[in-house]
Structure 1
């Protein structure tokens, strides 16, 4: 299995079995769905009885942690959908642990996992992530696990929130070297000197780097995206093996994302600039941006280690670069290792 590769061969008939965990089937057991007699929909279904949307969600109290799924392996999570109070996405923390590792491989806010690092909801469609109206959060990252997968959600806000969710997975045998999905979230605010934000470091291989989400507020007027992304592979020290030509170039755009004097948002299967706040302004220091890139067709493969950095660079004048030391930058990295 190649968890970072192309779409599955849908015509294959094999030994995999599909299961799904939700408030209507909290264990994912075969034939275990729609059996609830109590739940958040019980009053609405009181005239209909069991099987009629009795338990579509949970209520998560402030300060509480819910176990969304605790699944025995081997298997692969294929789709993770969740919706909740859109105003607190950055205060709800998703943690995922694989097998017997006590440390979560995924540990960050729902907002940053689903490429929504600012306070306003950003909709987009891509192969690996979809944020749909009016707050449907979808992940299609394949997540293999050998013995156990445990997903929890912590409410760090000051109010109770409803949580609707579904974790769909396949029970199937895996090769012993099947890689597990990890994320790493980091923020630099303000960035300081030198104006270099570390997206990822300290990762040992072998592995594949498969995704980047960037949320940036430049903190200076003018164009802010001259900085290069650098990938230091397998012992690279001062100089990287992979070096891009600019921030907008890395995310598939060009020429400042500026078309006829305005930023133009776009989304695609593998990359996009899906958020500009406020959208009617351009080259202002207080503006905020969100963009993503999935290295699915072009994975960054490493053998022994990986470090990833981003320069924050604008223009001091028409001929001189300006390091953006007052920038506010947050990133999420996805990788298999």
Structure 2
């Protein structure tokens, strides 16, 4: 992230932006389209009057959002599309011509919207504003090449508005590549843990977790511990938390007396989404929460594995292993462009029922 102390420093960087109004990001090439999704409403005004503000991605197809030659740093991504597409589209990012993606995540989960319903997010790297304005400020440096794609796995065409803002600039030696992996268990097998991250080899630092969890039992669900296995840890981790709500910066079941579960969104920690039963078809509670390790990144030099337990209470003095719906997005910087990753998301695995 850019430090406040850097704001006044004049550099040789050159700002560029890719959107449907300038697919290449070339200098002086914005707003010149003569056809596009806005051509009809702009028919009386012509070129330069919002002729191409968005793209339509047919069902079952992929689309190249941005292809950039470096060295450069992606500073900001803004995007919006209908909420029905948030768990049926896959966002991928590839660095330095690698054929394997470093980022491969359902679109909504990357922006802390795993349940396909809007939740306001007011954090440093991710901001989501009414009524579905997705913003990412994760810093994404690369030396030679970046490719960002969206794949529509849904049954219908998706209209997407987006903008990728980047800076052509030298990338400091030792900069890592942003990675994001997504995993889901629904349900989590009895007495097993949910794996947030595994098989990551190399040196880097872990910077964030988004967790979308849906409860399949009554009573409190968040006693489970996050465990970080660093650099060869096997049976026991180096870092072990004390409970799910503790890891996300809350306490005592997120329960504000008289109000019950209470949402919050802060620069680095949040429980922005609480979906409650409706008394008819929506029977289970669902939650979305984030924890960004920006002031406190977790450093590793050989490998990294992360798990979290799903744990409730069988009685007041005995834990109950839960079989919940758990979907996690893990974000980290690594000294290489790809690493072992989970099976790619498919429509059935992502679907919110």
Fold shared by both chains (TM-score > 0.5) = yes
Distance 2:225 2:4 in 1: 30
Aligned 8 A contact 1:263 1:279 in 2:
no
Aligned 8 A contact 1:221 1:285 in 2:
no
Distance 1:129 1:7 in 2: 18
1:33 to 27, 30, 34: 30
Distance 1:61 1:308 in 2: 36
Residue of structure 2 equivalent to 1:319:
317
1:305 to 303, 320, 329: 303
The question of 1:213 aligning with 2:220 is answered: no
Alignment RMSD: 1.6
Distance 2:306 2:121 in 1: 25
Distance 2:112 2:270 in 1: 11
Query: Secondary structure of 2:86's partner?
Result: helix
Residue of structure 2 equivalent to 1:120:
117
Aligned 8 A contact 2:277 2:284 in 1:
no
For residue 190 of structure 1, report the CA deviation from its aligned partner: 1.2
Note closer, same or farther for the CA distance 1:160–1:89 as it changes in structure 2 (3 Å cut). same
Runs of 4 or more off by more than 2 Å in structure 1?
Answer: 5-8
Residue of structure 2 equivalent to 1:330:
327
Distance 2:283 2:228 in 1: 27
Runs of 5+ consecutive residues of structure 2 not aligned to the other structure: 335-353
Distance 1:7 1:102 in 2: 36
Give me the TM-score of the superposition, normalised by structure 2.
Answer: 0.90
Distance 1:80 1:55 in 2: 18
Distance 2:318 2:43 in 1: 69
Distance 1:7 1:315 in 2: 45
Residue of structure 2 equivalent to 1:287:
285
Distance 2:89 2:5 in 1: 31
Residue of structure 1 equivalent to 2:134:
137
- CA displacement, residues 163-221 of structure 1 (integer Å, 9 cap, x when unaligned): 11000000011134210000010011111132311100111231010000011112111
Residue of structure 1 equivalent to 2:226:
229
Distance 1:155 1:191 in 2: 27
What aligned pairs does 1:243-254 form with structure 2 within 5 A after superposition? 243-254=240-251
Give me the TM-score of the superposition, normalised by structure 1.
Answer: 0.95
Distance 2:39 2:195 in 1: 48
Distance 1:225 1:248 in 2: 6
How many residue pairs are counted as aligned between the two chains? 331
Aligned 8 A contact 1:6 1:296 in 2:
no
What aligned pairs does 1:74-89 form with structure 2 within 5 A after superposition? 74-89=71-86
- CA displacement, residues 295-331 of structure 1 (integer Å, 9 cap, x when unaligned): 001111111111111011110000111111x211110
The question of 1:20 aligning with 2:20 is answered: no
Note closer, same or farther for the CA distance 1:247–1:209 as it changes in structure 2 (3 Å cut). same
For residue 116 of structure 1, report the CA deviation from its aligned partner: 1.2
